[in-house]
Copies of this chain bind each other. A is one copy, B any other.
Amino acid sequence: MFSIFPTKGTISDIDGFYCDGISAGLKPNNALDMGFIYTDSMCEVESIFTSNKFQAAPLKHYQLYDKNFKTNFVLINSKNANAMTGQAGIEDINEIFINLKEAHNDIENPIMSSTGVIGVRVPKEKILDGAKSFNLSNKSGENLSKAIMTTDSYSKSSFYEVKLEDNTTFKIGVVAKGAGMINPNLATMLCFICTDAAVPKADMKELLEQNTKTTFNAISVDGDTSTNDTVMLLSNGKSNTYNKDAFKEALRLVMDDMAMLMVADGEGAKKAVAFEVNGAKDNEEAELIAKCLSNSLLVKTALFGEDPNWGRIASTVGASGAMCSEESLTITFGNVLVYNKGEIYFTKEIEEKASKVLQQDKFKIICDLGLNDGSFTAYGCDLGYKYVEINADYRT
């Protein structure tokens, strides 16, 4: 038995973790654009990176370290992704790190993480000047989470305390950025999870991967990710305590929190929608359907228009390639049944009730295939004018 408490706090409220965000001149108007996570002892670290074949230079640099390397420093910048920059991009990181270690002697095996425009070399001088000015004893998770924002409209963090049966406790905190989930395609997501739980190295990757499937991968289509996507787990073990079930659940909570914040902050989005698929042939087909729904432009625009157009839901289910039948399918908006197994069912009265569901900020659309017990829930949002505005000229 264990207890998990959501707590007001940030990653630097964990013993031994320090962080901050500064303005290095990458963003205009002195906005925060660079930050760090520093730990006063070496951390175990595990990461899940993008499945994009063109991994950005920071991801390649990370993978040059020995598999079991430990670190005490992560340097994070926004505005420049250092992606598609070839060998030069990696050399830029090496040069930055040489200078960084000169300025801050106790940094070991530093990691870089970047988000922003693709195909432009990082402004080394600005980054170095900024990094030299870091005060490693600062504890401002708020500044850090602001510094890593790109098209995010708010910063994203979450924090929990976990109490185990023997009354020992550990903490877990997270800062993240990501806001393009209106279309999961290419929306860079960075997520840094810090804990003082004494997580065995072997559990770190296993639990990260398990939880990614139902959190970040449920808001994103497999394989269709940005050059820079990163979920990183840093553990300094300072609590001297650990329980796998408790840690797994706490990790799921912080990752789920971030995934839901990213959906709700979909570029220009006003509605967070859970697409719950039940009764599919198997879980894989349920996942396929749920992701087709959360990804469909016509579904997204209907949600934006608050139009209870269940025909677009049905047609997307039919187009998904999954096994399905008109005679066993039901579609429910919130708790309003709108399509029932081939019946002509959609009266004016039902339409009015369904419209009210769609006027909410947050609701479920449930498709029951009526075939077997496969289920999956994907998360998406509406697509409106604001999305076009944000993305038509992102670089400027």
Contact = CB atoms under 8 A, between A and B. Distances in A.
Interface of A: 51-54, 81, 83-88, 117-121, 180, 182-183, 185-186, 223-227, 292, 296-298, 301-302, 304-305, 307, 309-312, 314-319, 321-327, 339, 342-344, 346, 383-385, 387-389, 391-396
Given A185-B319, A318-B53, A388-B383, A87 B342 contact: yes
A180 to B, nearest CB: 8
The 8 A-B residue pairs whose C-beta atoms are closest, nearest first, are: A118-B311, A305-B392, A54-B318, A301-B391, A86-B342, A183-B297, A305-B393, A53-B318
Given A84-B339, A86-B326, A311 B52 contact: no
A346 B54 CA distance: 18
Given A84-B339, A185-B319, A305-B391, A118 B296 contact: no
| Residue of A185, A321, A342 with most partner-chain B CB within 10 A | A185
Given A81-B311, A394-B302, A317 B87 contact: no
A119 B346 contact: yes
Q: How many copies does the complex hold?
A: 2
B314 A392 contact: no
A262 to B, nearest CB: 16
10 contacts: A54-B315, A54-B317, A83-B314, A86-B326, A186-B298, A186-B315, A224-B319, A302-B392, A305-B391, A305-B394
